[in-house]
Chain A
Amino acid sequence: MNQQQVIGRTVRGTLGATMARAGRRFLSSLPALFGVLVFTFLLMRVLPGDPAVFFASGPNASKEDVELIRKQMGLDKSMPEQLALYLYDVGRGNLGRSMMTGQSVTKDLRERLPASLELTFTALLIALVSAIPLGVLAALKPGSIIDHGVRLFCALGVCVPTFVSGLLLIYVFYYLLGLAPDPTGRVDVFTSLPPSRTGFLMIDFLLAGDIEGWWAALKQLILPAMSMALFVIAPLARITRASMLVSLGSDFVRTARSVGLSRRHVVVTYALRNAILPVITIAGIVFSTMLGANVLVEKVFSWPGVASYALDALLSSDYAPVQGFVLLMASLFVLVNLTVDVCYGIADPRVSIE
């Protein structure tokens, strides 16, 4: 067996092990997902008001009408039967109908999810590309001005609520400097939307070859993404710093230095690669926090995403969308955990060999 074959086998083995790990994790997250389903089911049952009366055309519907609808909705059955029906519906992708939009919740969520994801991913990207260098710089010179600056920034960063930083960013960049466009929605009124292929405007505009539109959409995106990122830079930078400090103090870094490798090589290839695992863990947690923070940021910037949809529904007592939203968030979270697992395997192949 030549060397190439050996490497090939090892890579395949690692990939396989990573996949197996991810599969196991997926299976073990199923009970949690089931718990969330039961929770959303109970949520719907304990909500104030009789859904049958709600669905019947107004409060002056006759008793027979209400009974009929109750039967149609399966509300006359026992709780376990109702739960089974609910699970069946969710399994078929039927999340009910929104009274607000008159459309099925699944359709509404599908239309709006890309907006939320585009915002969240951009924010995560901004947070990572600013937090990791900050953390590394702080760890390279502990006790220096940079280190103290990063710590101060982290301490303050977790104290400012996202909705306040978002509004202050609007004040500075829209009102004072006039750099940002009117902070409502994903594009301004003068830009026509590109044909929807992925739903991600950053990608759709590029595919349509509309650079002007792309720029306009980016300008709308940058402030909400910034305000979301500001809140999560702190935990990411903090963990990067701590993890880098451990890594830089270890024997293999001393060895790498002593054999005369370049500083860049030592820091990036040796120290950072070994320090990245805890950062990935925190990034997963941070992503979940950001899914929650979406509600606040989307409200501040009138962003047409799933969170603002759920919030509007919630405030007008339209519960099917809220339920669908909660489910969607839980499923996204399971997906994020799986991604984190796969990233683990890629960043550190030792993880896969248990």
Chain B
Amino acid sequence: MTSTALRHSIWILRGNPLTGVAAAGVLSLIFIAIFGPWIVPYDPIASNVSQALLPPSAEHLAGTDQLGRDVFSRLIVAARLDLAIAVSAVSLSFVLGAVVGSFCGYAAGRLDRTVGRFVDVMMAFPLFVLAMAMVAALGNRVENIIIATAVINLPFYIRFARAEVNVRRNLGWVEAARSSGESHISVVLRFLLPNILPAMAVQMSLNLGWAILNAAGLSFIGLGVKPPTPEWGIMVAEGARFISTGRWWLVAFPGLALMLAVLCFNLLGDGMRDILDPRMRT
């Protein structure tokens, strides 16, 4: 069984080598996030005004910013914070959304309708504005960026888990679990939830990219992360002041970092979906 699944995965990967590239990209991103501070050539927050605003060179691969800090080192060190925000936000909404959504899909009655209404209210909204308002209400801190990003992701997970559980709730093996005396809670948590996890994991990978963009957007407009902390969104915001005088590297490189990170997660998500669900293959 497992070997069939493995062979199937390899067969699909051969048809779409991008997934492999994306997986390698995500792995190196994780590596950079963990070991970043030890592999950078310069101190990411030490300023050196005599070296300010230098274009990219062999010495400073991505140039230096207005305080003479090495942009490349800041990019590498920032990976940890950006990834940490996105991963914790997505995990938070994943856990909450999976549990709430599964119970709704299983109960399928008044609870389902009430939560459905609530989800509708949330989705009836430019979500970025919602995140902005939440950070304003909770206070301008990094934890609240995580909470806000988690909340705006939540409706998608609730809907997804609800739909996935709803189609399974009356299948034979669920019926069997119920008739052998499992409680409803145990049916949901021990049988249904593990069953929808693979599909949810795909959703999570696709969602991580979006979470990264949202968090970077929030810090770009001045919410959450404070300078001089290196973070991709805030680096773009600081570099924005110098773009109309032609200092492109201050914006382009953090932008490139954001783009690559999001691209890797999206491609990985697409690839994983192809492996899990052949019907969705594009």
Chain A residues in contact with chain B, CB under 8 A? 29, 31-33, 35-36, 39-40, 43, 46-48, 155-156, 158-165, 167-168, 170-171, 174-176, 182-183, 242, 288-289, 291-293, 295-296, 299-300, 307, 310-311, 314-315, 319, 322, 325-326, 329-330, 333-334, 337
Contacts and interface: CB of A to CB of B under 8 A. Distances in A.
Contacts of A242: 282
Contacts of A314: 132, 136, 223
Interface of B: 117-118, 120-121, 124-130, 132-133, 136-137, 139, 209, 213, 216-217, 220-223, 233, 236-237, 239-240, 243-246, 248, 251-252, 254-255, 258-260, 262-263, 266-267, 282
Interface of A is mostly: helix
Given A167-B251, A314-B136, A333 B126 contact: yes
Contact of B244 (A160, A183, A315): A183
Contacts of A176: 246
A165 B209 CA distance: 17
19 contacts: A31-B121, A32-B124, A156-B259, A156-B263, A159-B259, A159-B263, A161-B258, A161-B259, A163-B220, A163-B237, A164-B258, A167-B255, A171-B248, A292-B126, A292-B128, A314-B136, A314-B223, A315-B222, A322-B132
Q: Which residue among A164, A175, A299 has the maximum number of chain B CB atoms within 10 Å of its CB?
A: A164
Nearest to B124: A32
A161 B213 contact: yes
Given A167-B236, A183-B244, A325 B129 contact: yes
Interface of B is mostly: helix
Contacts of B117: 31-32, 35
A330 B124 contact: yes
B252 to A, nearest CB: 7
A32 B121 contact: yes
A330 B213 CA distance: 22
A329 B255 CA distance: 28
A31 to B, nearest CB: 6
Contact of A167 (B121, B216, B240): B240
A160 B121 contact: no
Contacts of B136: 43, 47, 314, 319, 322
Q: Which residue among B136, B223, B240, B244 has the maximum number of chain A CB atoms within 10 Å of its CB?
A: B136
B267 A155 contact: yes
A186 B138 CA distance: 33
Given A167-B243, A168-B252, A300-B240, A330 B125 contact: yes
Contacts of A326: 129-130, 133
Contacts of B220: 161, 163, 296, 299
B71 to A, nearest CB: 14
Q: Which residue among B120, B222, B243, B246 has the maximum number of chain A CB atoms within 10 Å of its CB?
A: B243
Contacts of B221: 295-296, 299, 311
Contact of B245 (A32, A36, A175): A175
Given A164-B255, A167-B236, A314-B132, A334 B244 contact: no
Contacts of B124: 29, 32-33, 35-36, 330, 333-334, 337
B263 A155 contact: yes
Contacts of B251: 164, 167-168, 171
A175 B243 contact: yes
A185 to B, nearest CB: 13
Contacts of A330: 124-125
Contacts of A296: 128, 217, 220-221
B182 to A, nearest CB: 36
A35 B118 contact: yes
B121 A291 contact: no
Contact of B128 (A182, A295, A322): A295
Listed from nearest, the 10 A-B pairs whose CB atoms lie closest are: A292-B128, A164-B255, A292-B126, A35-B121, A291-B126, A159-B262, A32-B124, A159-B263, A159-B259, A167-B251
A316 to B, nearest CB: 11
Q: Which residue among A32, A175, A242, A292 has the maximum number of chain B CB atoms within 10 Å of its CB?
A: A292
B258 A43 contact: no
Contacts of A32: 117, 120-121, 124
A322 B255 CA distance: 28
A182 B258 contact: no
A159 B139 CA distance: 28
A181 to B, nearest CB: 11
Contacts of A182: 244
Contacts of A35: 117-118, 121, 124
Nearest to B263: A159
Contacts of B233: 161
B217 A161 contact: yes
